[in-house]
Structure 1
């Protein structure tokens, strides 16, 4: 069973929820929880998409900055910082 609960504990939890909220409000609560979960998943997907896009643009910017220097090229000199 989920969360280490047995069938008896789950039935007791459902009865307590039914007593606290009433039979009419349980569908409303379940619907709002479902909407919240969907919104959370969408937000995570948006963040992943923006991170992927920024990572891709960063990689293309770095690749375009300078051509690679070959090590066996005798005319290649190290860059001077000053």
Structure 2
């Protein structure tokens, strides 16, 4: 199984790493990585804060925020009904 990240495969990531190494030098790589890590953390924190505000606002307005759980429950019921219907008729893969 090949490593794919944002539609970029392993060889492309390796080439990008080599270019970054040549352009910035080995001494700057840890500093760049720290900066990227901090930036990603800030984006994640901001995203979580927005989600929390949306959920709080929805709860204050009386909107059901557990829709995903309800959908999953319905899907499981349909799967159980199909399993009951097919019974011993299963395909071997």
TM-score after normalising by structure 2: 0.56
The separation in 1 between residues aligned to 2:42 and 2:10, in whole angstroms, is 31
Which sections of structure 2, spanning at least 5 residues, go unmatched?
A: 64-93
1:10 positional shift: 3.3
Which stretches in structure 1 are left out of the alignment for 5+ residues?
61-82
- Could you list the runs of 4 or more consecutive aligned residues of structure 1 that deviate by over 2 angstroms after TM superposition? 3-7, 9-13
Quote how far apart the aligned CAs of 1:12 are.
2.5
Structure 2 counterpart of 1:63: none
Q: Distance in 1 between matches of 2:14 and 2:33?
A: 17
Structure with higher strand content: 2
Alpha-carbon RMSD: 1.8
How many positions carry a matched residue from both structures?
59
Structure 1-normalised TM-score? 0.62
User: In terms of Rg, which structure is larger?
Assistant: 1
Matched, 1:5 2:5: no
